Amino acid sequence: MFKALLLTKSDDGKLSCAVTDLDESQLPAGEVLVQVAYSTLNYKDGLAITGHAPVVRSYPMVPGIDFAGTVLESSDARYQRGDAVLLNGWGVGEGHWGGLAQRARVKADWLVPLPAGLTLQQTMALGTAGYTAMLCVMALRGQGVTPERGPVLVTGGNGGVGSIAIALLSRLGFTVHASTGRMNEADHLRALGAAELVDRAVLNAPGKPLQKERWAAAVDSVGSHTLVNVCASLRYGGVVAACGLAQGMDFPATMAPFILRGVTLAGVDSVMAPYARRVQAWSRLAAELPADVLARNTRTIGLADAPAVAAQLLAGQVRGRVVVDVNG
């Protein structure tokens, strides 16, 4: 038996969420059984746990789109008992039972070995948010963005993706501007590496198709009008790595930034990214983000605390990253 956060839905559509004792025989199919040590709360987990958006595709469901732990059993030769592994994405926590539990059974193809230089807890202090932030940084660098081209904007600066993106970019020599709706967190954002703060209200309402050229590039996890205004404010040849939709999945834009300023909109997907890119991203995270920065940006909670903190996350009341100790 093991403990898990289990989501159920009644015939009348009422969602319930509770820590429940489950048997290993109830786990879905997969080649690898993992003793989970840590999971985390991401925006998508918040949506699943609160039911604010239909991200869960079947019930009952164990949420948690990522986890880190140790292999207990494996029918795949790539993994042996005792191997330390982590997982991000692949529909785990949406269509396949996820990481907010003490056990998980998954496909071997979904796993990545623990990167050298990181502990299991540190990988979840990064989590899918940190991994996605690195994918965004890799996308910008792949488009030729360098510090000499000018400042880079990071939207959702206090969120998981935003906070890690600020830290990564500043340590690569970029001048980072951070957009946030919580200007009272200025000291925290500057400690991460933000040189200038931008009030979220400047970006989240409808704006002109072309605006003053401010940024050479951007990392956006917000979408909707924010992403439109970011594109309209990029310098000639600017690039935005778009990875989220906290404000909305709509994009009410014009073609003006793309055909008059040569702006590039680079979509970043973390869910189905191929194995080689995942390994590259995690290796770079291990090498480029100091442990003290990670510690300052992270807090740890227990499994029973996850529902309340998930609601706080969606309300914009959570700073940085939240690690869930599933055995705590």
Specify whether 262 is located in the same domain as 140. Answer: yes
pLDDT at 20 over 90: yes
pLDDT tens-digit map of 79-89:
999 999 999 99
pLDDT band at 176 (very low <50, low <70, confident <90, very high): very high
Specify whether 131 is located in the same domain as 107. Answer: no
For 168, the token pair is 């990564």
Q: Is residue 19 in a domain?
A: yes
Specify whether 19 is located in the same domain as 60. Answer: yes
Specify whether 216 is located in the same domain as 139. Answer: yes
pLDDT tens-digit map of 22-72:
999 999 999 999 999 999 998 899 999 998 878 899 999 999 999 999 999
Mean pLDDT of 108-118: 96
pLDDT tens-digit map of 282-311:
999 999 988 888 888 899 999 999 999 999
- Return the CATH number at 57: 3.90.180.10
What is the reported pTM?
A: 0.91
Q: Is residue 312 in a domain?
A: yes
- Return the CATH number at 248: 3.40.50.720
Could you say which of 249, 267, 285 is where a domain stops?
Answer: 267
- Which residues touch 130 (CB under 8 Å, ≥6 apart)? 160, 161, 164, 285, 289, 321
Specify whether 95 is located in the same domain as 167. Answer: no
Could you say which of 267, 285, 310 is where a domain stops?
Answer: 267
Q: How many domains does the chain have?
A: 2
Kindly state the helix (H) or strand (E) to which residue 198 belongs, with its residue range: strand 194-199
- 241: number of CA atoms within 13 Å, CB side? 25
- Residue 175 CA to residue 184 CA, distance in Å, equals 21
The pLDDT assigned to 320 comes to: 82
Specify whether 48 is located in the same domain as 101. Answer: yes
* One-letter amino acid for residue 272 of the chain: M
- What residue numbers bound the domain in which 26 lies? 2-114+297-325
pLDDT tens-digit map of 121-158:
999 999 999 999 999 999 999 999 999 999 999 999 98
Specify whether 87 is located in the same domain as 185. Answer: no
The pLDDT assigned to 128 comes to: 92
pLDDT at 246 over 90: no
pLDDT at 264 over 90: yes
- Residue 281 CA to residue 248 CA, distance in Å, equals 26
Specify whether 255 is located in the same domain as 179. Answer: yes
Nearest CA-CA partner of 162 in 101, 209, 203? 203
Lowest-confidence segment of 94-98, 188-192, 290-294, 296-300 by average pLDDT: 290-294
Specify whether 86 is located in the same domain as 215. Answer: no
Q: Is residue 120 in a domain?
A: no
